[in-house]
Amino acid sequence: MTRPPPAPVMDGFDVSSYRPGMGYIVDARVGDYLIRAGYARAEPYPAAPIVQASSERQQRRAEDRIREELRDSRAKTIKASDLH
């Protein structure tokens, strides 16, 4: 980010968590929008401390939770006596 966005939501994109001087891995549409609007620039990876956008973090947490629930539902408890 080269400068702070003027509003927390711009053209439908939530940009409230983006801060100047920080690097972000974002969806191509968001990145293209921010670059064209003059709020960011493309940089070679990694250019600055990388922070995932909060909505991406929330999506990953939801995916991780679903994955863990599936793994737990398939897990089997075995007794020590079953190991012999």
Q: Over 70: is that where the pLDDT of 2 sits?
A: yes
Residue-range domain boundaries for the chain: 9-83
Cis bond before residue 46 (omega within 30° of 0): yes
Taking residue 17's Cβ as centre, other Cβ atoms within 10 Å add up to 15
Count how many Cα atoms sit within 13 Å of the Cα of residue 38 in the half-sphere of its side chain. Answer: 1
Residue-level pLDDT at 24: 82
Residue-level pLDDT at 55: 65
Classified as helix, coil or strand, 50 is strand
The structure's pTM equals: 0.50
- Contact (Cβ atoms closer than 8 angstroms) between residue 44 and residue 21: no
What's the CA gap between 11 and 15, in Å, rounded? 10
Taking residue 53's Cβ as centre, other Cβ atoms within 10 Å add up to 19
Condensed to tens digits (0 to 9), the pLDDT of residues 35-81 reads 999 999 887 665 556 566 666 666 777 788 888 888 888 887 777 67
